Structure formats: structure tokens, C-alpha cells
Chains A and B, each alone.
Chain A
């Protein structure tokens, strides 16, 4: 009994603190709006939907109650005890916080100056537009009732073993589907792989026709991130070199394209196609140039040096010193877009150009991955010392990985600059590097479909969830941590990576005792 209460108190305070932070972030307003809209409640305040807020609090306390009762669901009494203790604590935390905020607000303290989300209106919203006491009591009541309800529901669910029944049904359905004739035929037919690819290709090529201007642009951005993701996948995913300054190569690609095609600051105005090639070459060259000195470093140092390199490039392109040559903070305008046979690529046509680039890069990546080169990279990632003992010139292959990744980023940069017909320092912040690395991780390191999925999740989802715009990075940061804990291999992982991260180390491979130090 005592343990149950203790557990409930602990969980309750965690939930309480998290909810208080949600209020401080202002996420309660946004979420209540979404929930309110979902059940069609009319909104009465400007800063959020009070009905939606009640639903939000109710859902959160249901969750808290059911997870509090998870430790002991053997009888309804213990479920009740944990439900009561957890919901009491959450209720107290949140109600006390709202009471404090409401009191300060009624005393005309301008909290807004310090806590951006707590103005008079949002405090009114937290009180459901009622008086201080009524609002606080309603909140407390909701937490208490739904917390207990959650615990009891969870107990009932367990008692009926409803969960297992449903799980079993799902399993049976799944097996049936896998056993069906169609599935078998599909699996056994050697051509089915190509049919699948064909269908996928068809979808990819038709979709742009149905996209509006805005989505066309958004998808183009996703596509460019796919390109960069594929490049960084080679550096980090295959060769195991953590590069945090990947944006530098993107910037070199973009600026090369910009400087050579735009009328100012350099009056060159060379055509797009040769410049595209040149951008790729320049980026690859920069990759080698940076790689020669830094590739002898061990992992973490490499990360920080590449990060430093990215920052150097960014500071340089916006500095006044180089402004006459690269445009300074204003960047480069009027970058030429591509044209073929006199027809300029724009809108849909440009999206197709990006898609073609992606397909080409996927093809080359595949070739590399399944060759001597790809195997050398993987071997280096697994055990650099032994890779060298296998006759692999590790420095050369690291350089090649760096150059290849840089070349892909250069391609992405050039396409990006030519599409926007502009590029400036703001396009090349550290966030770009971090975004690309994150899409790689979210999607699944070392996996090509993973890169595509990751790019859609990271660059595509925020476009869909415009309402959450303010919280995009907040959610994204939290998601990264969460993902590393729950599913470090990503959404669509490469099989070998899943195994690496989930199978316990077999004791036949003791890493100690090796006389040759790992990672030099």
C-alpha cells in the first residue's frame, strides 16, 4: 500500500511539473485549440479553447491514472489507491500553479514581461473564463475524477484481458494477410520487386502534377534535404565519421552556383548546367581539403572541428571583409535558374529536376554501398584498426567518403540557390547541419528509404502542422531525445543497424584486452 502511494506521488509530481511547463510554453492553448476543433467546440477566448483545455486535462489525467495503476492491477482497491494518489498530486500541483498565476494576475502583476505566454487573456483562459476559485476548483476536479477513472479503467481493461484479445486478433489478421495467396505470389515472383519500384516511380512522377504552388515549393525543400541526407548518410551512416559542419559544403555549392550565375557581385553570369557541375566539384574539393588535416582525429573531435568549420564558413560569407566578393549579409540575388532548349525550369519542372537528381544519387549510392568502397567504409566504421589490417587505406577511404558526401551537399546547395534565385548567410546556419543529421537519425542511419522518410518527417511534417509553428523546434528537440531513447535505429532502419543497437553484445567479442588501441 505504502509503495503504491509513493509511486503515485512520484508519477503525479512528474506529470504535474510537465503540465506546468506545458502551460508556461503556451502549448496548452495550441493543444486545446486543436482538441476543441476536433470535437467541434466553440471557442470563447482568443488565446485558446476552454472546452478543449478541459479535454486536454482530462486526457492527461486518464493517462496518468492508468500508468500509475500499472504497477499493481491485481485488484480494484490498489488501482483506486494509486489512482487517487496520482490524481491528487497532479491536481494539487496544477491547481496551485493556476491559483498563483490567477492571483498574480488579479493583483495586476504584469507577468508577461517575464513569462511570455502568461498575459491576462491566457490566465482567463486557464480559468475557463470563470472566477479564480471556480476555475481552480474545476481544474482540480477534472484531474481528480479522470485520474481515478483512468486507474479504474486500466484495471477493468486488464481484468477483462481485453488487451490480449485484441492483440491476438491483430496477430491472426496479420498472419492471414501474410499467408494469403497474393502475398505469397508477390514474395515468390522475382519480378515483384521491379513492379513495386515501378509503382513507386509512377506515384513519384504523377504527384507533382497535383500539387499546388505552396506544396510544390515545400516538397522541393524536402527533396533537397533528401539529397543532403543521402550525402551525409555516406559520411556518417556508412563511414562512421560524425560531421556537424555539413552545411559548409551546402554553402559552397550554393555560393558557387550563385556567384557564377548571378549578375552581382561578380559579373560572370555563366549558364546553369556547367555551373552545376562546377559547384559539385568545388564542394568535393573542399571536402578533400578539409578532410586531409582533420581525418586523423578521433570521433568527437572530428565532430567539433567540422562544426567549427561550418561556423567559419558562415561567419566568412556574412563578413564585411568578403562582402565585395560574396555579397555579405545581403547574400546574392538573381541567381539564374536552369533552362533546357530555351524553356526555363520553374515550379513543377524544377521539382522534377530535383526528383531526377535524387534518383541518380540513390543509384550511385547503391552502387557504392555494394562495392569494395562501401564495404571498406563499413569495415572502418565497425573497427578501424582491423579495417586497416585488412589492407584498407583508411585515410584514402575516409577522404573519399568526405568528398562524396560533400559533392552531394554541393549539388543540393546549387539546386537550392538556383530554385530560390537567392542565397544568403541565413540559408547556411548550423541548424541546417543539425537538421540533416537529425533526419538521418530519425529516418534510420545507413538506410536510403530511411533518409527519405526522415526528410519528410523533419521538413514535411512541420509544413503540415503549421499551427505548431512556434513549437516546431521545441518539439523537434524533444523528439530527438525521445527517439534516441525509444528507437535509436530510426523509423526505417537498415537491418544491420537495428541489430547493432538491439542485440546484446555477445561475449565472444570482448573489446578490452586488445593490444592495439581502438580508434588509434
Chain B
């Protein structure tokens, strides 16, 4: 009755691994060959490489902050919050409006606008409002679009999230208009200004906005890590992620924890949005989408559910994306292709990410 007879005892698990190894070796060889060619041809001087690396680190730190938002939500609800990028967009717009409003308030004592008179307060205010608005949106997003669907098959909340994402993008488009807007930073944070570092006879500018973005990202990540790993509240969050029923039996208010998770992840997204605006300058209704997907890539790259992993993943993705096209000698338009190719490769060869997933068996 048997269709096939067992011919060999070596399983396909082994053959798959062998193929995998061969492909990896070939791929690495190809990469090194391209890299060798590019470097030996000397198209880019050392200053260019440093410039790429710096911009990669900065953009990567923003990815990391967004990625944490994905990881937190995924860790607890096992759903991809597709609309997370839109929370970032909301944060970016909020920060923009704060700057615009402060710019229009004159201060008699200095003869300049509030924005330029009290620069630190202005920036802090922009971050607070941006984080607050995004957190608020995150809260309502969960309440309206996800909570009624808890317990439904996995596809259903994902579709709902896609719907929410489309809705928020277009709501922003019709409310604020489709045009691109430029952040008006306070004087001290002009995007062209920065420390000048001489490298290889050339000058590399380390912009103030970039440093602000990077430092702030790292602070946020450390703060969040402490919150989740070191506090009582973080412990209940982890308990809910582990097993909702048991957590509820232990007296943890699961709904509240989930709500708060969305608030925290929204606030992080909002902060990322303001950073994006201050550093990159241009925002529009679609601004959250691509960074959102990239950040998800970063989260997967580092191992989803894992906070330090998301950090490593974000920084790595930023660097690879910005160094990759130059290193491989290909068109800079194709940096998104590099990012997504990395995602595909990582998922094929190391599905639990670089640092490793933090998922219990039940979730997988």
C-alpha cells in the first residue's frame, strides 16, 4: 500500500542544511568579491565610508525605536500592528505643529520667536506632544480596531490593522493636505550644522540633529528595557506575554496591560516621528509607512519579542542599508531592495533572528 519506499535514512532535514550551507558560502563569497572590487577601485574615500556609517547609525537608531513598538505589541498579542508606522506619522505631524505654533509666538524680551528664544523647552515640548498624541492614537487604535477582535483567527486583526493603517494615512492626507512639509527646527538644530571631523583630508559633518536623534534613541531604549526587565510593572507585562489566562488568575488586569502596551509603543513611535522630522526635515502623510516596514524588518532581524534584539536589528539594518549600496557597488535607489533581501534571508536561514526570539512554545 505504500507509495514510496524509504530509500535512505538521511532525512531531508540534513540535505536542506547542506544546501543552505552551500548557498550561504556562495553568497558570502559573492559579497566579499564585490566588496573587494569596490574598495580596491577606490571610488569612495574613507570620509565617504564614515559618512555612510554615521547616517546609517542615526537612521538605524530611529528604526530601533520604532521596532521596539512592534516587538512590544507582537510579544503580547502576537499580531503585527500594521498601523504602527502611522503612529510615527502622527507623532511627526504633532511635533511639526508644535514648532509651527511656537514659531508664531513672539517673545518681547529677546525680540525673537518662542521657538528660537527657548530652544530646549521647544524641543522638549515637541517631543512631549508628539509622544502624547501618538500614544493617544495607539490607545484608541487598540480599543477600536483590535480589542473587539481578540481571540479571532490571526488573519482578522491583521486585516483590521491594515484597514486602520490605510484609514490613518488618508485621514492625515485629507486633514493636513497632500503636500510635503518641512520641519522648522530651532536655530541650534539647523540640519546643516554640526561638528566637523577631519577624516582622510576631508571633513565629515556630524550634525547636531543626528547626535540628538541617536542619543535620544539610546536613552529611550535603555529606559524601556529597564521598565520591562527591572520593574514590577514590567514583570506583569512579561507575565501577560507569557500566558494571558494565568496572568489574569494572578490578579493582573490583562486589558489594562494591553492598553498600556499600545500607549507605550505609540509613545515610542511618536518620539521616532519627531526625531525623523527634526533630522530628515520632510514629513507627509505617507512618511510612516516605509520606516514602519523597515522597523518591522529590524524587529524580525533581531528576534521578535526581544527588546535588545530590536535595538541591534535596527542599528544593523540602518548601517547595512546605508553602506550596502556603496559596498556592493550598486545603485542607491536599491537600498530598499537590500533591506528586504536581508529580511528574506534572515527569515530563511535564522528565523529566530540574530539575538534570538523571546517566545514561549505556545506562541509559535
Contact = CB atoms under 8 A, between A and B. Distances in A.
Asked whether any CB of A lies within 8 Å of a CB of B in the complex, the reply is yes
Interface of A: 21, 24-26, 114-117, 236, 242, 293-294, 296-301, 303-305, 307-309, 311-312, 315-316, 318-321, 434, 437-438, 441, 470-471, 473-474, 476-485, 488, 500-501, 512, 517, 519-520
B343 A476 contact: no
Contacts of B152: 484, 488, 501
Nearest to A500: B153
B340 interface: yes
A438 B163 CA distance: 9
Interface in B121-150: 144-145, 148-149
B344 interface: yes
A479 B341 CA distance: 33
A485 B149 contact: yes
Given A116-B177, A304-B297, 20 more contacts: A24-B175, A26-B174, A114-B97, A236-B155, A301-B347, A308-B343, A309-B344, A311-B340, A312-B337, A318-B333, A438-B163, A478-B163, A478-B167, A480-B166, A482-B163, A483-B163, A484-B157, A501-B153, A501-B156, A520-B364
Interface in B183-201: none
A480 B164 CA distance: 8
B364 A519 contact: yes
19 contacts: A116-B174, A116-B176, A242-B158, A301-B300, A307-B293, A437-B162, A438-B159, A471-B174, A477-B164, A477-B166, A480-B160, A481-B145, A481-B163, A481-B164, A481-B167, A482-B163, A488-B156, A519-B364, A520-B364
B80 A304 contact: yes
A320 to B, nearest CB: 6
B171 A21 contact: yes
A297 B331 contact: no
A25 B167 CA distance: 11
A369 to B, nearest CB: 19
B334 interface: yes
B160 A485 contact: yes
B331 A298 contact: no
B165 interface: yes
Contact of B159 (A301, A305, A441): A441
A426 B169 CA distance: 19
Size class of the B contact interface (CB-based, 8 Å): 35 or more
B234 interface: no
B55 interface: no
Given A308-B343, A312-B340, A434 B158 contact: no
B171 A25 contact: yes
Contacts of B155: 236, 242, 299
What 7 pairs between A and B have smallest CB-CB spacing? A480-B163, A477-B167, A116-B177, A477-B166, A308-B340, A474-B170, A484-B160
Given A312-B337, A473-B166, A305 B347 contact: yes
B331 A312 contact: no
A434 B166 contact: yes
B266 to A, nearest CB: 17
A517 B166 contact: no
**Max chain B Cβ within 10 angstroms of own Cβ: one of A25, A500, A512:** A25
Interface string B331-356: 10110110011011001100100000
A43 to B, nearest CB: 21
B361 A517 contact: yes
B214 interface: no
Nearest to B345: A293
Nearest to A290: B344
A316 B337 contact: yes
Contacts of A519: 364
A24 B175 CA distance: 6
Nearest to B3: A391
A474 B153 contact: no
A311 B170 CA distance: 21
Contacts of A512: 362
Contacts of A520: 364
B154 interface: yes
Contacts of B166: 434, 473-474, 476-477, 480
A479 B163 contact: yes
Contacts of B202: none
A477 B333 contact: no
A500 B155 CA distance: 13
Contacts of B168: 477
Nearest to A478: B167
B12 to A, nearest CB: 9
B80 A300 contact: yes
A47 B364 CA distance: 54
Nearest to B79: A300
B154 A299 contact: yes
Nearest to B155: A242
B348 A315 contact: no
